[in-house]
Amino acid sequence: MYLKRLLMLNGPNLNLLGKRENEVYGEFTLQDIENEITKLVEDYGYRLDSKQSNHEGELVDILQAADGEYDGVIFNPAAYTHTSVALHDVIKAISLPVIEVHISNIHSREEFRHKSLLASVCYGQIIGFGKQGYRLAALALLPEQK
């Protein structure tokens, strides 16, 4: 049987989660999030692939390649949220629902974080709920019934 697949994609520096700046981002690691979301999606008969990159072009390549291979993307673009026209363009070009996730509330932080260049081309945006945001994004992409 064809297994439905979700991609969890994380941008620059999110590989440092749980190792530094715990007061801003929490104690959990990226691996903890991956483990939680894998369990959640498996309960629905889905599979999760997880990727992280510190490089804008590599994130573009991953999103291009994801088109047709996945049923949705949970994406924390990190700092590129606020700067990347290339990520805006690729999210617009592919036909996958992409949910933008931020661990912190970007609106309660520095002004340069208030603007997302990606929100207008994403299926939805979830911000400020810590690692729960990844779970909420997965639930938004999964069917209502298990």
Instruction: Tell me how far, at minimum, the Cβ of 103 lies from ligand CA2, in Å.
Output: 4
Does residue 25 interact with ligand CA2 by CB under 6 A? yes
Q: Which stretch binds ligand CA2 (CB under 6 A): 32-40, 43-51, 66-74, 102-110?
A: 102-110
Of the pair 69, 120, the CB lying nearest ligand CA2 is at 120
Does residue 102 interact with ligand CA2 by CB under 6 A? yes
Comparing CA positions, the residue from 79, 69, 75 lying closest to residue 133 is: 75
Of the pair 1, 24, the CB lying nearest ligand CA2 is at 24
Does residue 4 interact with ligand CA2 by CB under 6 A? no
Q: Of residues 20, 39, 92, 107, which one binds ligand CA2 by CB under 6 A?
A: 20
Binding to ligand CA2 (CB under 6 A) within 34-93 occurs at: 76, 78-79, 81
Who's near 20: CB < 8 A, 6+ residues apart?
none
What percentage of the chain's residues is helix, strand, coil (to nearest 5)?
Answer: 45, 20, 35
Beta strands in 3-145 (DSSP E): 4-10, 46-52, 72-76, 98-102, 124-127
**Residue among 55, 102, 107, 114 flagged as catalytic:** 102
For 124, phi then psi, to 5°, come to -170, 175
CA 73 to chain centre: 7
